[in-house]
Structure 1
Amino acid sequence: MIDIDLHRRLPTFALDVAFRNDAGITALFGRSGSGKSMTIGMIAGLARPDSGHVRIGGTVLVDTTAKTFVPLHKRRIGLVFQDAHLFPHLSVRKNLAFGQSFAPKAERTIGLDAVVETLGIAHLLGRRPAKLSGGERQRVAIGRALLACPRLLLFDEPFAALDRQRKLEVLPLIERLRDEFKIPIIYVSHAMEEVVRLATHVVVLDAGKVSAAGTPEAVFAGASVLGEDRRFGRSTVLSTVVGDHDAAYGLTALHHPAGTLWLAGMAGPQGATARVLVHATDVTLAVGAPGQLSTRSTLSGTITALDPDGALAAVEIALNGGGWLVALATRRALDDLALSVGSAVSALVKTVALDEGSVGR
């Protein structure tokens, strides 16, 4: 159990953050400057809160009422930042051994061999950091943090400096840490794709306060949570069930009560639940059954809200059978189609717009 309740006042900023999660990955999501890094800094012990507590499992790390403050080096918390911060003069093996030295011998429940195998870094053990790619350095940094046998892992924008291909190499490893080692993880990011794929619980911060919390599907429903950009940041998370895989075309059916989405690539075993991120700019609206189009993914629903913004409008759609979808269209198109609150619509999503790398499994 992660139980966080932190409050701190600065001359130009006030932080009031509280959240809990029983298992899996807790994602702290929000715009730059929303208080994400300040929050994990206090969890790690880099700063003291004015009031509040930090409890991990049955261990109290901070409790201002009881005047408890466990120093950073005794908290047994693993940290992974944007920069891997590896020791340049040490080999990968010795960098990993340094992490292991923080765990008391009687509590070293995670072994070097298991970490090396999980992260796929056996061939790197003799190299120094200068000879590693960005993705390889992050793997080693994760391994070093994991070998400390921590009570908690903190990831602060760990992939911000990596390109898409390197991210796709490392993201599955975070999933394996979540599923195999069962260590609670707090993951800081403003990349919705990473949050949707990894998180079991999302806490949205805005100006130092929690504006939303819950599952990715619940938090990213409708247009209530925006990314950095009001236009391109509008997105929705849909919960689907993995269907048949069409090997001839490399497509996988993702079933929703409102229709079927087709994904390029695999999405897990048949019958599994898959979370899909759909950007509002990738949704096209149609009245009635669509005609001859290349788009094959269609969801049906009813418009529940329109949010005009200049030439554009965000369209909130209640999907048949449950769930929400947000589309972005020009106000002229909505008038031409005579669409308003209460109108039945078909929402079309291009397969090429769905990122198989961000599907949460």
Structure 2
Amino acid sequence: MSDSIEISLDGQLGAFRLAVDLTLPMHGISALFGPSGCGKTSILRSVAGLNRIPGRIAVGDQVWQDETEFVPTHKRALGYVLQEASLFSHLSVRQNLTYGEKRARIAERHIRFDDIVSLLGIGHLIDRAPHNLSGGERQRVSIGRALLSQPQLLLMDEPLSALDRIAKDELLPYFEALHANLQIPILLVTHDITEVERLADHLVLLREGRVLASGPLNDVLAAPHSPLAARRDFAAVLPATVLRNDADGISVLDVAGSEFLLLAEGLQPGDAVRIRIAASDVSIARNRHDQSSILNAVSARVVTIEPLGDAEASIRLDIGATAPAPIRARITRRSLEALGLSEGETVIAQIKGVSLAANR
């Protein structure tokens, strides 16, 4: 039995050519990321059977498209969530949800109505009409309807882009709950790097219809000569385990054998989390400074030194003691010269801000 999603496409959509060859995991969230017009939505629509570009698409053991076969959209076991929640205005929330449920055969109904209502926090909305819902509430109902169709794969095309920042922040924990509690793979299209950092397990970078990189999230984020390294908002995302909670409200986390201190609520020892370390929050020192307000100062190996224009450099560091844990520091060329850094040596990475990227 295949445990991967295969997407191999090569063809024209008007003047745009899409040429991609991807193997994605059959679990977690795979994010398609890149600028507008790079092919993200074209790939998603092809997986849904809405575009017909020459190639092969297979989800697990089910071949949806190859040289001899093209399975129509209504026969593909998928759910599709759009930017704007497309609910039936004449139906209540409950009726919208059960509409999705009716699409699936009874024998295939392993995702239960009550579980989805609870997971998405929509029990109090169940008898409302769509026009009485906020944008975030409508999108949660739309996701619930897609899931109750019992999909083998969930497609999401920028599901947060139509929402304001407050609504996005309210909805993101529900996405994390889906990720933690459901086994259905999700293919997420987004142009927002913060959504990638918080939600994605696997990252596909796209440009002009082609794949620049594809792999586990931080492998792509922190890869040598990563196309993302030059971004001002670049950050590494690392898996961590909560070791303990100190009396002053600080949680102590293990990151590949190195201890990190983080101010966060609701964490319990043993919790698996992931942390976000922005390159702009990392400074480099030759020696450890005992008197400092910076809580996190860990031993690090200089892996690569990459120029960023004439004035700055991106330093790729490995802070892992028991396993690789790559991060980056963005520093000025003047600092680089003053420190006299070279690849392969050991330094101290001082990390000003460590934030929680996801609870699980």
Question: TM-score scaled by structure 2?
Answer: 0.88
Q: Corresponding residue for 1:54?
A: 57
The runs of 5 or more residues in structure 2 that have no matched partner are none
Evaluate the alpha carbon distance shift between residue 323 and residue 181 of structure 1 in structure 2; reply closer, same or farther with a 3 A threshold: closer
Instruction: Measure the CA separation in 1 of the matches of 2:162 and 2:355.
Output: 20
Instruction: Measure the CA separation in 1 of the matches of 2:179 and 2:160.
Output: 17
Instruction: Measure the CA separation in 2 of the matches of 1:291 and 1:31.
Output: 43
Instruction: Measure the CA separation in 2 of the matches of 1:47 and 1:120.
Output: 34
Q: Does 1:264 align with 2:263?
A: yes
Q: Corresponding residue for 2:71?
A: 70
The farther-off stretch of 326-335 and 231-240 is 231-240
| Counterpart mapping for 1:116-127 below 5 A | 116-127=117-128
Would the aligned equivalents of 1:15 and 1:35 in 2 still touch at CA under 8 Å? no
The farther-off stretch of 270-279 and 36-45 is 270-279
Q: Corresponding residue for 1:204?
A: 205
Aligned-CA RMSD value: 2.4
1:33 to 37, 44, 54: 37
The runs of 5 or more residues in structure 1 that have no matched partner are none
Q: Corresponding residue for 1:337?
A: 339
- SS, match of residue 347 in structure 1: strand
| Counterpart mapping for 1:171-190 below 5 A | 171-190=172-191
Deviations 1:174-193 (A, max 9, x none): 33333433222212223333
Alignment length (residue pairs): 353
Instruction: Measure the CA separation in 1 of the matches of 2:125 and 2:138.
Output: 10
Q: After TM superposition, give the deviation of residue 158 of structure 1 in Å.
A: 1.2
- SS, match of residue 27 in structure 1: strand
- SS, match of residue 355 in structure 1: strand
Q: Corresponding residue for 2:234?
A: 234
- SS, match of residue 241 in structure 2: strand
Would the aligned equivalents of 2:110 and 2:150 in 1 still touch at CA under 8 Å? yes
Would the aligned equivalents of 1:19 and 1:203 in 2 still touch at CA under 8 Å? no
- SS, match of residue 97 in structure 1: helix
| Counterpart mapping for 1:1-361 below 5 A | 1=3, 2-10=5-13, 11-50=15-54, 52-63=55-66, 65-66=67-68, 68-222=69-223, 224-227=225-228, 230-246=230-246, 248-257=247-256, 259-266=258-265, 268-308=267-307, 309-321=309-321, 322-351=324-353, 354-356=354-356, 358-359=357-358, 361=360
- SS, match of residue 84 in structure 2: coil
Letter in 2 for 1:235: A
Evaluate the alpha carbon distance shift between residue 222 and residue 291 of structure 1 in structure 2; reply closer, same or farther with a 3 A threshold: farther
Would the aligned equivalents of 2:38 and 2:206 in 1 still touch at CA under 8 Å? yes
Would the aligned equivalents of 2:250 and 2:262 in 1 still touch at CA under 8 Å? yes
Instruction: Measure the CA separation in 2 of the matches of 1:117 and 1:231.
Output: 38
- SS, match of residue 288 in structure 1: coil
Instruction: Measure the CA separation in 2 of the matches of 1:298 and 1:166.
Output: 35
Instruction: Measure the CA separation in 2 of the matches of 1:300 and 1:184.
Output: 36
The farther-off stretch of 16-25 and 144-153 is 16-25
Letter in 2 for 1:238: L
Letter in 1 for 2:31: A
- SS, match of residue 38 in structure 1: helix
Would the aligned equivalents of 2:258 and 2:319 in 1 still touch at CA under 8 Å? no
- SS, match of residue 69 in structure 1: coil
Letter in 2 for 1:46: L
Evaluate the alpha carbon distance shift between residue 177 and residue 145 of structure 1 in structure 2; reply closer, same or farther with a 3 A threshold: same
Evaluate the alpha carbon distance shift between residue 266 and residue 224 of structure 1 in structure 2; reply closer, same or farther with a 3 A threshold: farther
| Off by >6 Å, runs of 4+ in structure 1 | none
Would the aligned equivalents of 1:297 and 1:349 in 2 still touch at CA under 8 Å? yes
Would the aligned equivalents of 1:275 and 1:359 in 2 still touch at CA under 8 Å? yes
- SS, match of residue 197 in structure 2: helix
Letter in 1 for 2:126: L
Q: After TM superposition, give the deviation of residue 27 of structure 1 in Å.
A: 2.1
Instruction: Measure the CA separation in 1 of the matches of 2:245 and 2:256.
Output: 19
Q: After TM superposition, give the deviation of residue 137 of structure 1 in Å.
A: 1.3
The farther-off stretch of 235-244 and 136-145 is 235-244
Would the aligned equivalents of 1:226 and 1:235 in 2 still touch at CA under 8 Å? no
Q: After TM superposition, give the deviation of residue 320 of structure 1 in Å.
A: 4.9
Q: After TM superposition, give the deviation of residue 77 of structure 1 in Å.
A: 1.3
